[in-house]
Amino acid sequence: MPVHVVTDPGTQVPSHLQRIPIPQLNRTSPTTNKCVKGKVVQKYPLVSLEDDDYILKTVVQEHDHQQSLPSGPTSINAILFGALAKDFSQSVSQGDVLVMAGFTVGGSPTAQKDGLHPCNLQLSGNEACVYVCRPPAPGPSASATPTWTTAASVEAHKTKYTYAALKDLKPGMVVNVYGIVTFFKQPFRTKGTDYCSTLKITDQSDVKLGCTIFSDKLEDHPQIYKIGDIVRLHRVKTQLFNGTVNVMTSLGYSALTFDGAVGSPVVPRTSSKSFHFSEEDRRTVEGLRAWAASQAVVPPASCVRLSSVQPKVYFDLTCQLLAKAVMDSNCTLLKVWDGTRCAHPLLNLVVDSVTLEGNTTVVRGRENLVASVLVYDNHVEVAEGLKPGMYLRIYNLHAVPQSGAAPHEAEAGHLAFHLHGGTAYGRGIRVLPEDSPDLQELRRTLDSLSAALENDPEDSSLEEVWSTPRESLDANPQENITARTCDHRLKHVTLARVTAATPPQVFHVRAQLRSFQPERLHQALKLHCPKCRALRDVPDEETVASLFQEALSGTEHCSEAWALTGFLDSSVPGRKIALHLPSGMERAGNELVFVEGATLEEMWRMSGGCRNMVPVRSSEGRMALLDLSAPFFFQGTKQHYGCKQCSQAGCLEPDTEDVREWDERKVAEVLGVQLMQYVFLMKLELEDETDSVEALLWEHAESFFRVSASDAATSQDAQDWIQETMNKLRPPGGSLAERPWLDLCLRSYAVEEGGRRVVCHQIFNTVARGAEL
């Protein structure tokens, strides 16, 4: 039994390990060179999953900490795997004091039921280690020095894993499997905190197995790049679904992925720093490769070069990202190349240089080397994390030819590439790893192309193909009451051409304003959540006042250990207003005051003299925020709102110690509130002699009016300025002939509404002319 009795803990517990208190642990806590010390308060039986593979659960309570502990649960579940679980079962007893190192921090699925820490500790692999401290056994030679034993790491007692053939799986098993990927979908965010990915695998038994992976960390999902990759899944549970056995993740799940090409290096892809991989595993991977190659079980590759792309097809593209730009909240433009020239002309979508991240330079006359890829909806989140220079594989890309109604007749038939929303057909984006054979081949192609271009004497000068010189304004600019701020080299088109064109497109138009909504301009002010993208009206004064009144419902004032509390007389005799000030901020000069028992009118009066005030209520004796339909933060005359769906505010225990300057973002972070942003949203009906178009004024509305939405929420001058601007664009009572012409930049895009595709238009890169505020 690998237990080592020692007499000097200082020499047995590595000195580089730094202790972290259990209440301080969270899902993002660093674990490298960290340890936890605690007492075993509960130990569960050892569970055998397969031969020589085990799992054990224990509960550890913070023990003998010399400093004051942060608030929070002091007991946490710990899950041990493999040989370490078996050693723990044999070596450790309830009541022992432990030091645990080499763990990872995960979410505890039983936190709601057992009331313990919301996280758990997971120990597996070569780096995991548990040190056990016990008093020495009684005897004449016993000393007062505590004796330590080590539940040895897996390195000393390697686990031998067994793997099930896919044909032998039955419902209700927890198994380890190998398989060749025949289909996969990239991870996508669920309605909860997890990401979900799905795949199908097969092995020499020629059975197809569906796999569903759930994990809140993207890096824990199998790193699959193409059909034919090989995956190894540990601790997945089998279940019956639609009459077929499938597997899904269970406690302790892990995954490795390998390139499926015969002869390529057998290098596991994984985010884990420690995993078991033996010579037998290597033989298994090579055996699956050889079998797949001989049986042709992998369908033909759908990954093609730009030079081979045909209009209207769906394909996978391996490419390098040159630049990107956000088109709107649901669309991002990627500029990519793969070192080959498309046989069909490529559409060059232009954007403002200020939105450009990266650079796209090609030799003059060779623009068909750079493709414009528009990614939509759920893929926008992935695109946000991409950096120019990365090597990508884009799955299920759609080659879309432009219609004959393009802004320029010459652009009809030009190809743009769309990555539609959703995950159907494996749609998604992956960053290729450095050791990918496809990446190495792509680099060789790009290097050869670059050398050829540099040595071409006819095309030696470089030209920027992203943006073009700014087009001059209309020949009679005084006739236009708006001005474009873009750099697009586009001619004006009629609105009839706009409505006939296939989105996405960018247009320059001259039109008149026929109508706008809402006509009551204060209703154009909205609240927008940048996380879930919810949009809601700003609550009216009566609604907010009623929420403050409900919070006065006769409960006693709360008392919190972290705050100093004082009282003010209210406007109603006998009712007191409690002011709670976090300890340590008495002389900060920038206090954050929590106000309990005030009406909305009283909050307005008090916030005029104190910049930072948070309205609160008593909930079972603890301090809590009001319903988030009301402002959660008053900052002078400004009021800030939080998103009900994305906020995680419970009973308040704000950590204000290190904050020296308060603003709405800092306050929201401390309170667990997702801050909503003030935005404008208007719909303008434009018309010219050929047609009419409804266009939204939203993401670029602040630059259009030259007024921020947050200022418009509190400033009468800003509100008057917007009203004056709209009166100029559409004079009240004026005839169509009296309305001015507007020089506008429009963008078209498509959205799904009720299962059908709807084309929308938005005004951007345009400002209203007039006197400055």
| Average pLDDT of adjacent 10-residue blocks, the chain of 773 residues | 45 75 86 86 79 80 73 87 83 83 83 83 80 62 40 44 90 91 86 85 91 87 89 91 88 87 84 77 92 77 82 90 86 90 83 71 60 89 89 91 53 79 86 80 80 51 30 37 65 87 86 88 87 87 87 75 80 82 60 86 77 84 87 88 85 65 82 90 91 90 86 84 85 75 88 84 81 39
Cα–Cα–Cα angle for 445, 449, 453, nearest 5°?
A: 175
E strand intervals along 17-163:
18-19, 34-43, 47-50, 53-62, 75-81, 97-101, 104-107, 119-123, 129-134, 147-151
pTM for the complete prediction?
A: 0.47
Axis-axis angle for helices 541-550, 600-607 (nearest 10): 100
| Spatial distance between the Cα atoms of 173 and 199, rounded to a whole number of angstroms | 19
| 270, 223 Cβ separation under 8 angstroms | yes
| Spatial distance between the Cα atoms of 581 and 588, rounded to a whole number of angstroms | 11
| 82, 122 Cβ separation under 8 angstroms | no
Using CB atoms within 10 A of its CB, is residue 328 exposed (0-12), middle (13-18) or buried (19+)? middle
| Spatial distance between the Cα atoms of 154 and 201, rounded to a whole number of angstroms | 29
Q: State CA 185 to chain mean position distance.
A: 17
Q: Give the phi and the psi of residue 457 in degrees, each rounded to 5.
A: -70, -20
Both tokens of residue 160?
Answer: 């031998």
| 490, 692 Cβ separation under 8 angstroms | no
| Spatial distance between the Cα atoms of 412 and 295, rounded to a whole number of angstroms | 45
First-to-last alpha carbon distance for the chain, in angstroms, is 81
Q: Count, in order, helices (H) and strands (E) of the chain.
A: 13, 42
Q: Please list, in sequence order, all residues whose beta carbon lies within 8 angstroms of the beta carbon of residue 366, skipping any fewer than 6 positions away.
A: 341, 453, 459
pLDDT at position 107: 82
- Please name which of 631, 651, 639 lies closest in space to residue 611, comparing C-alpha atoms: 639
- Cross-strand partners of 281: none
pLDDT at position 726: 87
Secondary structure, 3-state, 133-157: EECCCCCCCCCCCCEEEEECCHHHC
One-letter amino acid identity for 559?
A: S
Both tokens of residue 413?
Answer: 């038939």
Q: Please list, in sequence order, all residues whose beta carbon lies within 8 angstroms of the beta carbon of residue 51, skipping any fewer than 6 positions away.
A: 160, 162
229 secondary structure, DSSP code: -
- Cross-strand partners of 245: 240
- Within 10 A of 417 (CB to CB), how many other CB atoms are there? 23
| 317, 306 Cβ separation under 8 angstroms | yes
E strand intervals along 203-354:
209-215, 230-241, 244-258, 314-328, 331-337
Diameter over CA atoms, the chain: 111
| 368, 341 Cβ separation under 8 angstroms | yes
| 344, 365 Cβ separation under 8 angstroms | no
Tokens 């075993």 found at: 40
pLDDT at position 454: 54
- Please name which of 277, 239, 238, 240 lies closest in space to residue 255, comparing C-alpha atoms: 277
| 35, 29 Cβ separation under 8 angstroms | no
| 169, 210 Cβ separation under 8 angstroms | no
- Within 10 A of 239 (CB to CB), how many other CB atoms are there? 14
374 secondary structure, DSSP code: E
Residues in the chain: 773
pLDDT at position 408: 43
pLDDT at position 608: 67
| Spatial distance between the Cα atoms of 697 and 525, rounded to a whole number of angstroms | 12
Rg of the chain over Cα atoms, rounded to whole angstroms, equals: 32
Tokens 């709405």 found at: 664
Residues 187-226: b if buried by 16+ CB within 10 A, e if exposed? bbeeeeebbbbbbbbbbbeebebbbbbbbeeeebbbbbbb
One-letter amino acid identity for 681?
A: L
One-letter amino acid identity for 658?
A: D
Q: Please list, in sequence order, all residues whose beta carbon lies within 8 angstroms of the beta carbon of residue 562, skipping any fewer than 6 positions away.
A: 582, 583, 653, 654
